[in-house]
Amino acid sequence: MSPLSSDTTTDSPIAELPGDALRQRAVDELRSALGDGLIDSLIKPGDDVWVRVALTSWREAGAVLRDKLGMDYFCFLSAIDWMPSPYGRGEDAPDVVIERSTEIKQGYTGGETRFQVFARVASTHLHYGITIKADVPDDDLVVPSWIPNYAGANWHERECHEMFGIGFGGHPNLINMYLPTGFEGHPMRKDFPLLARMVKPWPGIVDVEPLPGDDGPSSENLEADNPDSINNAAGES
Amino acid sequence: MSLDTMLGDRQKLAYIASQAADARLNVELETEGMTLNIGPQHPATHGTLRIICRLDGEQVVWAEPSAGYMHRGYEKLTEVRTFPQVTTLVNRIDWLGSFANEVPFILASEKLMQVEAPPRAQHIRTILFELSRIANVGLFLGDLGVQMGAVTPVFMAFRDREYVLNLIESATGGRFHPNFDRIGGLLNDLPKGWIEETRGVMRKLRNFCTEMEDLLFGNEIFQTRTRGVGIIPKDVALSHGLSGANLRASGVDYDLRRDQVLPMAWDKTEFTVWTHPDGDSFARCWVRLMETRESTLIVDQLLDTMPAGPVMAKVPRIIKVPEGEAWVSTENPLGEMGYYVVSKGDLGPFRVKIRSASFNNISIVPWVLRGVYVPDIITILASLYFILGDIDR
Amino acid sequence: MLAVTIPYWGQTLLRVLGGIVAVLLPAGTIVYLFLFKMMSFMQSRLGPMEAGPYGSMQLFAEVGKWLQKEDIVPGRADKYIFRAAPLIVLVSTFLLVVVVPFGPDAYFTNFEIGVFYMLAVSSISTLGILIAGWSSANKYSLLGGLRAAGQLIAYELPMVLAVVGVVIQAGTMNLQDIVLKQNGGEIFGLDWIGNPYILTQFIGFAVFMIAVQAELTQVPFDMPIAESELVSGYMTEYSGFRFLIFFIAEFATAGIFSLIASALFLGGWGVPFAWFGWDNVGDISNWMNIVGPLIMFSKMMLLSFVIMWVRFTYPRFREDQLQRFAWKVLIPVSLVNIMVTAILKVAF
């Protein structure tokens, strides 16, 4: 039974290091704990730190973050689908065929697969956080669950599962969070179309009813022609 | 209003008993439990939240919230919007304090564009942020009474909230959904006379906080209903990702206004971060009350030190945010709200992960509702304070 | 008395009409004045203003609205009991008003055991509430009904014990005699106040008012209704005319209990006899039969004001806190009150 108020004192020597040194120390700790599991890292000076780990070290990395680096606060866990959307931004007329690049290019700390699962945790004592990513193999979309590390991962993994179709091994109750039971498809994947845009592309292709007194619809970018718009007044660049 | 823990021995024992509720078996009178459905239409839940409880008499044995009745698919919708258009969407996540939703997204985009808003814009942003906090939590204080059965404080809360909404409307044009923040600054400057009027409104709101303190928090029945109810210890709160007043009421001294460096004006003010050692419902309500009063003091300080200057930096007419990823989170009225913006150099974002506070706050409901009585469900939900749009996005 | 002799059926008709007026008039006045207007003013708003001048016709509008709604009986409800439950609650109110004296000759009946009768019939509404909750085939109503059963039975006892103190002091259970004794008596040798039992039975008065608040399931004791949890508790499934009966019964009972409390503690329909030099019942002038009800009405408004004022201000107790309050606080206090009253009565 947990006590009513636990006292936590982390007398870790990391507490004295400022900013970037703190982040570098975190990356070094992870490397020494995970070894080859830590694939890549990126520290943006004065800003933030990203690391990418192998999927086999995903759960262990969470434990290291929680125990050794003092990251007691669980922020969120989700996934990114790096495939560019075949539908663009839903602004094209339905009969026009547009060639779009299908190249999958990942972001910070690279990656090899289409899906990446990522999480963020923070330390309430040292006042910094870390974003951790892992590749999810395309043929076997299963990720070990983070529930043993942070209890809050329960709901985040449920949402990630229903939105991306990524399974979480060891999750006690992987049912849909937002969508009705038996919903087919995984909405956040890029190849799942946004139905509203399929039905009616936006904007400019559709007929815009003219205002009374106007002489015709304008399907141009109205903001570009409006001299009062703040973006026009601020000057060109 | 004391800061000391008032959890007597009886309440500590009650906490232990509630923890053991899972293993409790009623051998003599083996009655079948009753499954009660609270919501989705219910006066107590702030919107369409459904909680399925299995009861044994009046005690909850198992509870599970079922969210998603208001899921609008914001993360998918942001992928088909341009960057300036996202603020219109994002206003509607936490609709009671809606300016505060725009700010982390704008800050993340500005981080990627390496643009900083001018000092006056930062000041005004912070003032509007704190005003939206006051509006949001002011409603909470009134709503707390209604959940308990006291029907009078809520009218005073709405009356005083109107002052704040009028202020926001005169500055931004919208009471509930301002859509005022822009990448690089703000849409407009403040109208004439706004600063004086805000000072007056802040004075009125401090009176309102005192009124709530006397009317509601000093009431013995309220104290009996909330003290020792729904205790959340520190480690459970942190591992679930509870944030905001819920976390501070469990004794964790963590406030994102003070504990990180952002291009906003909080570091130019002095304010107290209120915490409470018990993790019970009374602590959560009390911390919010003190924070509301603190917000009015912050706004006063910011009004006194408002710099002159432009409110918009030089940004291109068509905004294309360079490739990169950024995470910004702020201390919103409901907790920690953050946006993880992934951009590919397009007109719009590639992926936006919206981390909303109430999602984590409500994920603790199955844990905290074990062993409590049915009236306490309402007390605990009221004290955790969620907005449906924040849970469901 | 009156110049004409009214046949027995005429008297009965007058009594019936008088009873209906005596029940509905307090209910209507309390609803309009306190529920609509006073609550609104306390909450810095105006309340109903549209229907009639200053919203005075709002009550008729509400009654009309409820009457024209569809009478819905849930499919799985126990039909006969479901339909009967509101009537049982209303019947107990009408039975209660029968013992209240409104003037020296203006009363419905003159029971020798009026107090006993009053306490007995006030429990009938408990039955109505319980079967309303049970027969509704709705889990919320069931919870409300069960809570009501526990609460109403628990708070019967403090009410009875509080009244026992008055009975001991008056030496009679006849409500008319209690009123006469209060107005004809004297306290500390001052006979211009009379002897309203609130001065000596202040503990009994406080316990009685708290018990009445609980018997009416008003906040802070409104767990059976508990609007933010159980929607409407035992009344959830009722709509239309049946809900109107519950509504009227709630406020009518509030009015009747205030009338009884003013008869027991505040001196009822009378003013201290010393003001007019009366010595016994026969001396009282006839105009007291007309002024008496008015005095009763104003005392009832005063006590209902207190009941409603508490209702709008406080949050509600949880069920177990409520029970603890009744059994561990109110009953011992009222028992002590009885003991002290008995000792003092014998001593003086």
- Contact status of C231 with chain B (Cβ, < 8 Å): yes
Closest residue of B to C321, CA-based? Answer: B224
Tell me the average pLDDT across C247-252.
87
- Contact status of C134 with chain B (Cβ, < 8 Å): no
Which amino acid is present at A118? F
Four-CA torsion C147, C151, C154, C160, nearest 10 degrees: -150
- Contact status of A204 with chain B (Cβ, < 8 Å): no
pLDDT score of B31: 53
E strand map for chain B: 34-38, 50-56, 59-66, 181-182, 185-186, 324-332, 335-343, 351-355
Judged by CB atoms closer than 8 Å, whether chains meet at B239 and A72 is answered as yes
Cα(C49)–Cα(B114) distance, integer angstroms: 58
Closest residue of C to B156, CA-based? Answer: C43
In this predicted structure, the answer to whether residue B290 has a pLDDT above a threshold of 80 is yes
Side-chain-side CA neighbours of residue B364 (13 Å): 29
- Contact status of B238 with chain A (Cβ, < 8 Å): yes
Is the previous residue joined to B40 through a cis bond, with omega within 30 degrees of 0?
yes
Which of A105, A150, A178 is nearest residue B68 as measured by Cβ atoms? A178
Judged by CB atoms closer than 8 Å, whether chains meet at C312 and B216 is answered as no
Neighbours of B156 (CB within 10 A): 20
Which of A6, A76, A194 is nearest residue B233 as measured by Cβ atoms? A6
Residues of chain A with pLDDT below 70 are 1-18, 93-94, 203-209, 211, 214-237
> Mind telling me how many Å the CA of B58 is from chain C's nearest CA?
8
Tell me the average pLDDT across B238-248.
91
- The distance in angstroms from the start CA to the end CA of chain C is 38
pLDDT score of A227: 52
pLDDT tens digit string along B207-225?
Answer: 999 988 888 888 888 888 8
Residue C258 confidence class, pLDDT cut points 50, 70, 90: very high
Judged by CB atoms closer than 8 Å, whether chains meet at A74 and B81 is answered as no
pLDDT score of C334: 93
In this predicted structure, the answer to whether residue B258 has a pLDDT above a threshold of 50 is yes
- Contact status of B17 with chain A (Cβ, < 8 Å): no
Judged by CB atoms closer than 8 Å, whether chains meet at B254 and A73 is answered as yes
> Mind telling me how many Å the CA of B240 is from chain C's nearest CA?
27
Residue B284 confidence class, pLDDT cut points 50, 70, 90: very high
Residue B44 confidence class, pLDDT cut points 50, 70, 90: low
pLDDT score of A1: 28
pLDDT tens digit string along B73-101?
Answer: 899 999 888 888 898 889 899 888 889 99
Tell me the average pLDDT across C95-106.
85
Tell me the average pLDDT across B277-298.
92
ipTM of the complex: 0.87
Tell me the average pLDDT across B337-350.
90
- Contact status of A103 with chain B (Cβ, < 8 Å): no
Axis-axis angle for helices B194-212, B281-304 (nearest 10) = 160
- Contact status of B10 with chain A (Cβ, < 8 Å): no
In this predicted structure, the answer to whether residue B310 has a pLDDT above a threshold of 70 is yes
The runs of H, that is alpha helices, within chain C are 8-29, 39-42, 58-67, 79-97, 114-121, 124-135, 139-170, 175-184, 197-200, 202-215, 227-230, 241-265, 288-313, 319-325, 331-347
pLDDT tens digit string along C140-195?
Answer: 778 778 888 888 899 999 999 999 999 998 888 888 888 888 887 777 777 677 78
pLDDT score of A15: 47
Pick among B34, B148, B225 to test the C interface (most C CBs inside 10 A) = B148
Work out the burial of residue C114: count CB atoms within 10 Å of its CB; fewer than 13 is exposed, 13-18 middle, 19 or more buried: buried
Cα(B240)–Cα(A150) distance, integer angstroms: 7
pLDDT score of B6: 54
pLDDT score of B1: 37
CB B262 within 8 A of CB B339: no
Which of A5, A91, A197 is nearest residue B277 as measured by Cβ atoms? A5
- Contact status of C37 with chain B (Cβ, < 8 Å): no
Judged by CB atoms closer than 8 Å, whether chains meet at B68 and A176 is answered as yes
pLDDT tens digit string along C271-329?
Answer: 877 777 777 767 677 777 888 888 888 999 999 999 988 888 888 888 888 888 999 99
Q: Which two tokens stand for residue C193?
A: 């106040």
Q: What is the mean pLDDT of chain B?
A: 86
Cα(B127)–Cα(B119) distance, integer angstroms: 12
Residue B4 confidence class, pLDDT cut points 50, 70, 90: very low
Cα(B217)–Cα(B148) distance, integer angstroms: 12
Give which of B326, B86, C304 is closest to A42, Cα–Cα.
B326
Cα(A163)–Cα(A185) distance, integer angstroms: 8
The more confidently predicted of residues B227 and A19 is: B227
Q: Is the dihedral of CA C167, C172, C176, C182 positive or negative?
A: negative
pLDDT tens digit string along C316-335?
Answer: 888 888 888 999 999 999 99
Which of A1, A47, A91 is nearest residue B16 as measured by Cβ atoms? A1
In this predicted structure, the answer to whether residue B125 has a pLDDT above a threshold of 50 is yes
Closest residue of B to A189, CA-based? Answer: B76
Q: Give the list of residues 6+ apart from residue C7 with CB closer than 8 angstroms, or none.
A: none
Judged by CB atoms closer than 8 Å, whether chains meet at B221 and C316 is answered as yes
Cα(B236)–Cα(B233) distance, integer angstroms: 6
CB B262 within 8 A of CB B328: yes
pLDDT score of C34: 82
Q: How many CB pairs under 8 A join B and C?
A: 79
Q: Do chains A and C touch (3 or more CB pairs under 8 A)?
A: no
Residues 69-88 on A with a CB inside 8 Å of B are 72-76, 78, 80-81, 84-85
Side-chain-side CA neighbours of residue A65 (13 Å): 34
In this predicted structure, the answer to whether residue B306 has a pLDDT above a threshold of 70 is yes
- Contact status of B94 with chain A (Cβ, < 8 Å): no
Q: Which residues of B touch C (CB under 8 A)?
A: 34, 36-37, 42-44, 58, 145-152, 155-156, 159, 215-216, 219, 221-222, 224-225, 373-378
Q: Give the list of residues 6+ apart from residue B181 with CB closer than 8 angstroms, or none.
A: B87, B99, B102, B103, B106, B125, B187
- CA distances to C132, C135, C249, C312 from C144, rounded to whole Å, are 9, 12, 17, 20
DSSP secondary structure string, B17-57? HHHGGGG----SS-PPPEEEEE-SS-SSSSSS-EEEEEEET
Task: Return the percentage of chain B with pLDDT > 90, whole number.
Answer: 41
pLDDT score of B29: 41
pLDDT tens digit string along C193-216?
Answer: 778 888 888 899 999 999 999 988
> Mind telling me how many Å the CA of C307 is from chain B's nearest CA?
14
Which of C140, C316, C321 is nearest residue B148 as measured by Cβ atoms? C316
- Contact status of C219 with chain B (Cβ, < 8 Å): yes
Q: Which helix (H) or strand (E) holds A118?
A: strand A115-123
Cα(B86)–Cα(B282) distance, integer angstroms: 37
- Contact status of A101 with chain B (Cβ, < 8 Å): no
The more confidently predicted of residues A86 and B162 is: B162
- CA distances to A10, A223, A226, B190, C253 from A229, rounded to whole Å, are 53, 7, 6, 17, 66
Task: Return the percentage of chain B with pLDDT > 70, whole number.
Answer: 91
Judged by CB atoms closer than 8 Å, whether chains meet at B241 and A74 is answered as yes
Judged by CB atoms closer than 8 Å, whether chains meet at A236 and B316 is answered as yes
Cα(A191)–Cα(B11) distance, integer angstroms: 54
Which amino acid is present at C229? E
